[in-house]
Amino acid sequence: MFSKEGAFSLVEILIIITVIGVILSLLYNLQLVGSNLWARDANRLELQLNSILFLKRINRDLRESVDISLFADNSILTIYLDGGESIKYFFRQTAIYRNEEKIITCVESTPFRLENNNGLLIINLSLKKDTESYRLIDKVSIRDL
């Protein structure tokens, strides 16, 4: 009556479904790992670029300064310019502001320290976003001020 030559058995179908499931699971995990790596690298790149831009900006302001002062547990750096103008950098929560304008986020602690004995302003910038951390230290000589 019925011929079995053109049909698959239940065991064959279950094996094929299992193999396809394993292959799809491996492909999904591969995509997930790639996505996580991309997000981690994007966070790291953002931290690096933000810190470099911050350091360039503060170094430019320091080059134009005639005096500097550090207040409130090293969280407020005031840079005095010619003509009586001043620029205030301050750390609040997880950000650094320049004259009330937020210029960098994800900051872990106050980055400024003034060493009067050797005339250095040390900028110790520690940034953290999700699982990525980045630390950058810059030393600026202020002897000429």
Report yes or no on 45 lying in a domain. Answer: yes
State the Cα–Cα distance between residues 107 and 114, nearest whole angstrom.
Answer: 19
- Is residue 3 situated within a structural domain? no
Residue 5 located in a structural domain: no
Q: Is residue 120 part of a domain?
A: yes
**In the block, residue with structure tokens 């009556």:** 1
Position 4 in a domain: no
pLDDT at 115: 83
- Residues 44-85 pLDDT 10s: 999 999 999 999 999 999 988 898 888 878 889 999 998 889
Q: In which domain, by residue range, is 95 found? A: 10-141
- pTM recorded for the entire structure: 0.75
DSSP character string of the chain: ----TT---HHHHHHHHHHHHHHHHHHHHHHHHHHHHHHHHHHHHHHHHHHHHHHHHHHHHHHTEEEEEEETTTTEEEEEEGGG-EEEEEEETTEEEETTEEEEE-B-S--EEEETTTTEEEEEEEEEETTEEEEEEEEEE-TT-
Say how many domains are in the chain.
Answer: 1
Whether 92 is covered by a domain: the verdict is yes
Domain annotation covers residue 60: yes
Q: Is position 1 within any domain? A: no
* Sign of torsion over alpha carbons 116, 112, 135, 53: negative
**Which residue would you say has higher pLDDT here, 19 or 110?**
19
CA geometry: angle 60, 65, 66, nearest 5 deg: 165
